[in-house]
Every structure is written in structure tokens, then in C-alpha cells.
Structure 1
Amino acid sequence: MSYSLSFLIFYSINNISTMIVIQNYPLAVIFCILAMICWGSWQNTRNWAGLAWRFELYYWDCALGILLLSFLAAITIGSMGDTGQTFWESLAQATPTYIAYAMLGGVIWNLGNLLLVAGISLAGMATAFPIGGGLAWLLGILVNYIGKPEGNPYYLLAGGTAIALAIYLCTLAYQRLQQGKAEVSYKGVILAFIAGVLIAFFYRFVAISLISDYANPEIGKLTPLTGVFFFCVGAYLSTWVLNPIFMKKPVKGESVSMRDYLKGTPKQHLIGILGGMIWCCGMVFSFMAADQAGFAISYGLSNSAPIVAALWGIFVWKEFANAPAGTSKLLAGMFGFYFIGLVLLILAK
């Protein structure tokens, strides 16, 4: 099975690609699922770095990892084969307007991501992550479908509803773990809501900057991996503006400085860079798939990451080992709706 899947990916890539272009929907779905795994897994590096290592400090390395992987992807898989443009050719003919759109997407995502983390710090994972992540997911599908209507809207709606129910059951399961703990911070809820709205729009801005036909690029627009690179440039540069604010006035805990960052161990810095690279792999997979899947479906499948994150929490971090009775039923329902939602999204095209 694994050999057949590897052969399919190898054969499809090596027979399509100057820029690598996915030319069939089944492979696009596989890439969306890979993106979903990456986006649901990168935050584990935060735990591996140690909870004593503040997120504001971890974020410097994470942002660097995102930028490094985007450049590496652009000069390798974004510059191979005989279809479309290489990264360097796309860079040479790109107009400032479309570069600005991609970079703006990076700034919006970065601010949303920082606010979501702040919301989680105040309101807890059980409340803030489903609000921010769930809103970003549902609103993002709508925004991207309106921007470029592709796929069966009824299947998209049904799949979106199913995964929304999965996220809701995930929320209830996490809330059971918080029974008897401090009350939820409304400030955290508000931050998570704002974060969800911001994150819902970042994908669309990058999509605007991209060529409409990956095999036949329009003049002035960006190839997908060129767009991802400029997205990451925007995210990285905005980190130098946004993160110092969060360091000086954190929503929780004492302020930290660059002196604290320099005290980090090589392991902590490398883990942060790895986290950023994993996240960026998801971005690369998602936009490589968007030509065949459509932006709404690609975004919807890729951003089903909250459930992947829950899987890590259940099976690796053992977060539900001592959960109250009945929690397992909520988790089973979550997986059921999640599977139904994924199938419906795939069938939407």
C-alpha cells in the first residue's frame, strides 16, 4: 500500500513538471491531507521545546523556520521540470501589486496566529482553539469559495457542517478536562474570535497573487511557491514588528526580552525552526494542490488541522488519560463527524 502511494506521487510529479504542477485531483487530495497533517502537528514542537521556554521566544525561531523552508521549496520543487515557470523566472516578472498581496497574506496570518496563541494562554485550549480555529476554518471556506467558486457548494456546506460538529465535540471533550478549574477569560475568547476572522482571510490574499493556470502562467502574477515565499517574507518581517509588542506586554506572565531569547539552548532554537518548517510544508502542499482542488476545497481539507492536533493530544500527550466518564463517546463522535466531513469535502469536486 505504502509502495503504491509512493509510486503514484513519484510518477505524477516526475511526469508533470520547471515548476512542479499537480495534474490530477486524487494527488491534489493527497497533498491536502499532507498539509492537514503538517498544520495539525507543528505545534507539538512547542511542547518539545519545554513549557518553560516562552512562546514569544519560541516564535522567533518558528518564523525563521517558515522563511527558510519556503525558500528551499521555491528553489527546488518550485524550479524543476518543464512546465510553467521556475521560481527565478516568476520572481523576475512578478509585479509589486501581486507580491504585496502575498506578503499581506503573511502579515494577516501572523497577527491572527499570535492573537490565537494569546487567546489560548488566557482562555485555555478547550475554549480558544475551537473558537479561533473553527471560525477560521468555516469562514475561510466561504471566503475562498466566493473568491473563486469551484466545487459542489452543497457538498462543501455539508462537509463544513460535519467538521464543525467534530470541532464542537472536540471542544466539549476538552472542557471536561477543565472541570473545576478557573473560569474562562472573556478577553481570551475575544482575542480568539478576532484571530479566527484574520486567519480566515490570509489564504485568499495569497490566492489573489497566484496565476490562475499553474501550467500557463499569466504575466505579473506569481507561481504557487513564489507566492508562498512572499507570504513567508511578509510573516517573517511582521514578526519583527508584532512579536516585540507581545514580548513587552504579554497577555500572561512577565515581559521577556531578546536577552532571554539569547539564553535559549541550541536544542530549543532548532526545535523552533523545525516547527516553522513543518508548518511551511503544509503551506507548500496546500497551494500545490489548489490548482486541481480549487482554493475552497484545498483550504477546507488543509485546515481540518484542529482534529489532527486533538489526535496528538489523545495518543501522544495522553491529555485524556484521566478524563471523566463519557469523554470517550465525545471523542468517538468527533472522529465520526470528522471522517464524514473529509469524505464530503473530497466529493465536492
Structure 2
Amino acid sequence: MSNNGTDLTTGFISSIVAILLFGSNFVPLKKYETGDGMFLQWVLCAAIWLVALVVNLILHCPKFWPFAMVGGCIWATGNIAVVPIIKTIGLGLGILIWGSFNALIGWASSRFGWFGMDAEEVSKPLLNYIGAGLSVVVNKTQDPDPEHSWVDKLSTVQNRLVGCSLAVISGILYGSTFVPIIYIKDHSKRNDSIYAGASQNDLDYVFAHFSGIFLASTVYFLAYCIAMKNNPKLYPKAVLPGFLSGILWAIATCCWFIANHSLSAVVSFPIITAGPGFIAAMWGVFMFKEIQGRQNYLLMILAFCIILAGALCTAFSKI
């Protein structure tokens, strides 16, 4: 098989694994109280950093580029808003908004060369546009029962305004998380750049990226402890499930790095951002019995068809 064929196969397999793990990573936490999410995020990010340490050792400690940490900080910043979003507008609408902006920003920044990156070319642009568009319309899952928090003091209008605004911001931040890495890779080909000669292998930046995630989450957690007057809300029973959730997320993201390298972000983003919501819904149907009724099943079948059509359009746009 040619190198191009091998890259495509590797990229699509990595995308499938990423979709499965992203759609499943919160399953271990399903039955545990997580409160306002700040403690949980720190546990998740600690697990994420340990996975990055293992990957870094396996790769024999490639050069550490501090700028790659910025992407991790961006992701952690977007992630701290997830719990308030869920409590104000629900997980379904939250994922619809932040997932859509995540997909669009991640795809468009690579496709059109935003933020100083090189524009990515595909052999069939129209199919790529269609695939990206289809990936935006399927980011929807069931709403959980919200727990009491500061957002309960907001009016209905304030809830919608705060929740939607935070979801848009989170989506933009999520969609920008790979920008520093892609920027380094693009500028590594320029002799006059400080990044000249930097690795073209995305996995070589995992440790720096995940270190940024852990650093930012630690800073936010410390700030939270100060704001709570050294009385943060801790949930010991969520530690081990949260750690497992972080490991699953970290492995999924490593697969996304591989997909970015093999397919380019302009192809991997529409595929990987579209699928996890459907996988999460499958858990809701078969494991937790949250989604029932003929209408809901028909909607899920329709969502699956849209996801498959979008993935195929995106895939064929590369070939």
C-alpha cells in the first residue's frame, strides 16, 4: 500500500477510535455527583497529563515547544464553562452550540489559513464543505438533571443569555486548541522562523499541549479555592471515575493528533466533532435507558445517517 493510502487508513482508524472514546469518556462518571465541576476538571486534567507523560517517554522525549502549551490552556479555559452551560441551558443545547462552533472554527481555521497558519487544500473542496456543514447539525444529546449552583439564582432570560454566550465562547476556544501546534508545524518549514526544523509529527507536541491543560486547570482550581475561602466542594467518590474519564479523553485526543497528522485538521475536525454525541446517545439507549420511544429512535437513526454522510463526504474530499 502506498504511503498516502497508509496515512488515510491510519487517519480514519484514529478518527473512529477518537469518536468512540470521546463519546464514552463521561460514562464512568454517570452515577457520581460532580458538583460545580471545578474539582472534577482538575482530576481529569491530572489524568490527562499522566497519559501525556507516558506518550512523551515512549517517543523518547521530543523537543518541548512552550508555545504548544497555549493550545492546552485554551482548551482548559473553554472547559471550565461546561458545568455552568449545562446548568443554564442543558447539555443538549450546550453541545449543539459549542460543538457547532468547535467544528466550524477548527475546520475553517485550517481550510482558510486563519491565525497565521497555512491554508489546507483538498482535492474535492465541495465535498469538504458539505461534510463540514453536516457535522454541525448533529451535536445533540439528552439533558441531565442539573444540580443546585449559583446559576439557579438567574432568571430564565439570564440563564439563556449566560448559557448561550458561554457555549459560543467555549466552542470558539475548543476549535482553536490545535492552532498553536499547526502554526509551529507550518512555520517549521521556513528558515527565518524560530520554529524552523520543528517536528511534523503531531504526537511530538502532546506533552506540551497536555502540560498546558494541566497548568491552566491547576491555576483555575487554585483560584476557585481562594474564591471559596479555602472551602472547595470536593467529591471523593468521583476521583477514580474522573481519573478514568481523563485517561479515556487523553487517549482520544492522542488519536485526534494522529488523525490531524494523517488527514489534516480540515478533514479530521468535521469527522471527529460530529460522532461523539451519537455515541453518547447510544450509551443512553442501551446502558442507561435514558432515550426511549419510537420518535427518539427515528431521530437517532436520522442523526446517524447525517453523521455517516458527513464523514463520507469529508473522507472523499481528501482522496
TM-score, shorter chain, exceeding 0.5: yes
Residue 257 of structure 2 is aligned to residue 287 of structure 1: yes
Query: Aligned partner of 1:100: which letter?
Result: P
The residue aligned with 2:173 is 198
Q: Secondary structure at the match of 2:137?
A: helix
How far 1:271 moved relative to its partner?
1.7
The residue aligned with 1:338 is 307
How far 1:259 moved relative to its partner?
5.9
Structure 2 CA distance for partners of 1:132 and 1:257, relative to 1, 3 Å: farther
Query: Aligned partner of 1:347: which letter?
Result: F
Q: Secondary structure at the match of 1:150?
A: coil
The residue aligned with 1:129 is 95
Matches of 1:74 and 1:141, distance apart in 2: 27
User: Normalization by structure 1: what TM-score?
Assistant: 0.74
How far 1:318 moved relative to its partner?
1.9
The residue aligned with 2:13 is 30
Residue 216 of structure 2 is aligned to residue 238 of structure 1: yes
Structure 2 CA distance for partners of 1:190 and 1:248, relative to 1, 3 Å: farther
The residue aligned with 2:67 is 101
User: Normalization by structure 2: what TM-score?
Assistant: 0.81
Matches of 1:246 and 1:259, distance apart in 2: 7
**Contact in 2 for aligned 1:46/1:58 (Cα 8 Å):** no
The residue aligned with 1:264 is 236
Residue 290 of structure 2 is aligned to residue 319 of structure 1: yes
Of 123, 126, 133, which aligns to 1:154?
A: 126
**Contact in 2 for aligned 1:120/1:128 (Cα 8 Å):** yes
How far 1:210 moved relative to its partner?
3.6
The residue aligned with 1:118 is 84
Structure 2 CA distance for partners of 1:52 and 1:120, relative to 1, 3 Å: closer
Q: Deviations over 1:259-282 (max 9, x none)?
A: 643x614xx322211111111111
Query: Aligned partner of 2:27: which letter?
Result: N
Of 131, 134, 137, which aligns to 1:165?
A: 137
Matches of 1:73 and 1:57, distance apart in 2: 25
Matches of 1:201 and 1:337, distance apart in 2: 25
Residue 19 of structure 2 is aligned to residue 39 of structure 1: no
Matches of 2:35 and 2:106, distance apart in 1: 32
Residue 248 of structure 2 is aligned to residue 273 of structure 1: no
How far 1:42 moved relative to its partner?
1.3
**Contact in 2 for aligned 1:166/1:333 (Cα 8 Å):** no
Query: Aligned partner of 1:195: which letter?
Result: S
The residue aligned with 1:143 is 109
Residue 41 of structure 2 is aligned to residue 59 of structure 1: yes
**Contact in 2 for aligned 1:135/1:193 (Cα 8 Å):** yes
Matches of 2:169 and 2:14, distance apart in 1: 29
